[in-house]
């Protein structure tokens, strides 16, 4: 009788413990955010794996700098007024070098040392800098992915998109289009790059302000991504997946949409539907990040993200006041980098997403006391604590 009472009580405690749900709801995305404050302005970052590039005016003109997530994260002064790790200077020309992009061993940027905008390529392993363009007019807003770089070119009188083959050392094709390069708005001056992956190039066409794409392997002409007639902007590619900001709802309230260009159905997926602006999306292998005015003071922009496989949207960093603007996110793997602030007050912000914290499961339950012998009619209080696979 004594053993039976003990076993019944212990089973009841364990059953209650098993019903305890681990805490999985979070106010912001789980992960490791770190703010990298440097002297002067750091703007328009890009990322590939552990590597980050940005434009930097600490020397009085805009130069291209390179750094790594690991070195910023390991900086002993991280969280203080200024970090000690300041990156590596890539360019040394007194002209302006802007809008960098990085992929593997290569960095590209736009450069006005010759009087107009040209595209330059830098190979990190050999320290070799090479001018890729010499045509009349401007070539600007470059993107790079693997063996290809893409940029805008207005030397023909229209804004074409040029696709460059790095290994071949020459232009692969000049896409017959007239690209629109600025965000919506009659007075808007902010520009965005053509989107590029190893499979596709994408841009906004001037005539209807919609996203079009070009298949690098198949060639041929341009094709519309969406059947919607609403204005679209700011495309971003990863493999065959493309995202963009879309104005089909209420006209002035942009949302983020996604399509798999390789899928037979080509089904459009609406990622956001909040009654605020969601703009400037960037997509990587696992996540999408964007600027979001939701809940921010004075309509400044915070950073939100979407976990593609888990179909879950989360805030990453929320603006704290009207001066705390978060802009131009770039994504690689589970890491997001963006520009915090504008002008002289802009710096780098990095966030490494940890999806494991979203997948918490009860793996052990500790019962205190671990054992007890009770006589019939006796009582004793037990407590049960549930732990997930992370020990939380």
pLDDT > 50? residue 149: yes
Mean pLDDT of all residues in 267-294? 96
pTM value is 0.86
Kindly report the backbone phi and psi dihedral angles of residue 46, in degrees, each rounded to the nearest multiple of 5, phi listed first: -135, 160
Please tell me the distance from the alpha carbon of residue 83 to that of residue 94, in angstroms, as a whole number: 25
Concatenating the DSSP letter of every residue in 328-367 gives: EEEEETTEEEEEESSGGG-EEEEEEE-GGGGS--EEEEEE
Please tell me the distance from the alpha carbon of residue 276 to that of residue 187, in angstroms, as a whole number: 20
| 4-13, 114-123, 127-136, 382-391: segment of lowest average pLDDT | 4-13
At 7, the pLDDT band (50, 70, 90 cuts) reads very low
User: Residue 199 belongs to what H/E stretch?
Assistant: none
pLDDT > 70? residue 316: yes
pLDDT computed for residue 97 by the predictor:
99
**Within 10 Å of residue 372's Cβ, how many Cβ atoms?**
13
Quote the tokens at residue 79. Answer: 């969280």
Number of H helices, E strands in the chain: 2, 31
pLDDT computed for residue 167 by the predictor:
98
Q: Model confidence over 201-213: pLDDT tens digits?
A: 999 999 999 999 9
Quote the tokens at residue 219. Answer: 């060639």
| 93-97, 226-230, 359-363: segment of lowest average pLDDT | 359-363
pLDDT computed for residue 388 by the predictor:
61
Burial 208-237 (b: 16+ CB within 10 A, else e): eebbbbbebeeeeebeebbeeeebbbbbbb
| 102-106, 267-271, 366-370: segment of lowest average pLDDT | 366-370
pLDDT computed for residue 18 by the predictor:
42
Q: Structural domains in the chain? A: 1-24+360-392 (no CATH), 38-357 (2.120.10.30)
**Within 10 Å of residue 12's Cβ, how many Cβ atoms?**
12
CB 292 within 8 A of CB 303: yes
pLDDT computed for residue 392 by the predictor:
61
At 186, the pLDDT band (50, 70, 90 cuts) reads confident
pLDDT computed for residue 33 by the predictor:
95
pLDDT computed for residue 257 by the predictor:
98
pLDDT computed for residue 34 by the predictor:
94
Q: Strands of 148-153's sheet, edge to edge? A: 139-145, 148-153, 160-165, 170-175
pLDDT > 50? residue 5: no
| 91-100, 188-197, 292-301: segment of lowest average pLDDT | 292-301
Please tell me the distance from the alpha carbon of residue 66 to that of residue 52, in angstroms, as a whole number: 6
% of the chain at pLDDT higher than 90: 77
Of 354 and 295, the structure prediction assigns the larger pLDDT to 354
pLDDT computed for residue 21 by the predictor:
41
Mean pLDDT of all residues in 79-103? 95
Asked, as a colleague might, if the bond just before 369 is cis with ω within 30 of 0, I would say yes
At 299, the pLDDT band (50, 70, 90 cuts) reads confident
At 362, the pLDDT band (50, 70, 90 cuts) reads low
CB 183 within 8 A of CB 279: yes
pLDDT > 90? residue 371: no
pLDDT computed for residue 375 by the predictor:
74
Please tell me the distance from the alpha carbon of residue 94 to that of residue 213, in angstroms, as a whole number: 36
Please tell me the distance from the alpha carbon of residue 175 to that of residue 221, in angstroms, as a whole number: 8
Q: Model confidence over 214-246: pLDDT tens digits?
A: 999 999 999 999 999 999 999 999 999 999 999
pLDDT computed for residue 264 by the predictor:
86
pLDDT computed for residue 16 by the predictor:
39
pLDDT computed for residue 13 by the predictor:
39
Q: Model confidence over 158-184: pLDDT tens digits?
A: 999 999 999 999 999 999 999 999 999
Q: Model confidence over 10-59: pLDDT tens digits?
A: 344 344 344 444 333 337 999 999 999 999 999 999 999 999 999 999 99
- Nearest one of 261, 258, 265, 264 to 287, comparing CA atoms: 258
């Amino acid at each position: 009788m004594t053993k039976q009472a003990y076993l019944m009580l212990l089973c009841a405690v364990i059953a209650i413990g098993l019903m305890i749900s681990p805490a999985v709801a979070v106010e912001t995305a789980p992960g490791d955010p770190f703010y990298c404050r440097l002297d002067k302005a750091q703007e328009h970052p890009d990322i590939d794996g552990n590597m980050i590039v940005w434009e930097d005016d600490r020397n009085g003109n805009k130069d291209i700098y390179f750094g790594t997530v690991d070195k910023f994260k390991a900086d002993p002064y991280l969280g203080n007024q200024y970090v000690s790790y300041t990156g590596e200077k890539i360019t040394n020309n007194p002209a302006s070098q802007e809008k960098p992009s990085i992929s593997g061993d290569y960095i590209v940027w736009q450069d006005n040392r010759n009087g107009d905008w040209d595209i330059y390529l830098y190979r990190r392993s050999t320290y070799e800098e090479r001018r890729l363009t010499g045509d009349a007019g401007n070539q600007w807003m470059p993107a790079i992915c693997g063996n290809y770089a893409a940029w805008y070119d207005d030397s023909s009188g229209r804004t074409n998109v040029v696709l460059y083959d790095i290994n071949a050392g020459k232009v692969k094709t000049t896409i017959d289009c007239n690209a629109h390069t600025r965000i919506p708005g009659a007075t808007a001056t902010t520009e965005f790059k053509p989107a590029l992956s190893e499979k596709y190039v994408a841009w906004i066409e001037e005539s209807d302000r919609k996203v079009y794409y070009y298949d690098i392997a198949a060639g041929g002409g341009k094709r519309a991504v969406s059947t919607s007639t609403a204005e679209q902007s700011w495309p971003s590619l990863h493999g065959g997946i493309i995202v963009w900001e879309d104005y089909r709802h209420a006209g002035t309230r942009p949302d983020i949409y996604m399509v798999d260009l390789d899928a037979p159905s080509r089904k459009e997926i609406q990622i956001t539907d909040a009654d605020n602006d969601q703009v400037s999306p960037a997509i990587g292998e696992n996540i999408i990040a964007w600027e979001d005015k939701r809940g921010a003071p004075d309509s400044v922009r915070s950073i939100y993200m979407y976990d593609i496989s888990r179909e879950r949207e989360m805030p990453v960093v929320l603006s704290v006041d009207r001066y705390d603007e978060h802009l131009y996110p770039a994504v690689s793997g589970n890491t997001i980098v963006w520009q915090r602030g504008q002008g002289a007050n802009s710096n780098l912000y990095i966030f490494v997403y940890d999806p494991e914290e979203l997948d918490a499961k009860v793996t052990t339950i500790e019962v205190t006391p671990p054992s007890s012998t009770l006589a019939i009619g006796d009582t004793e209080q037990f407590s049960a604590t549930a732990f997930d696979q992370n020990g939380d």
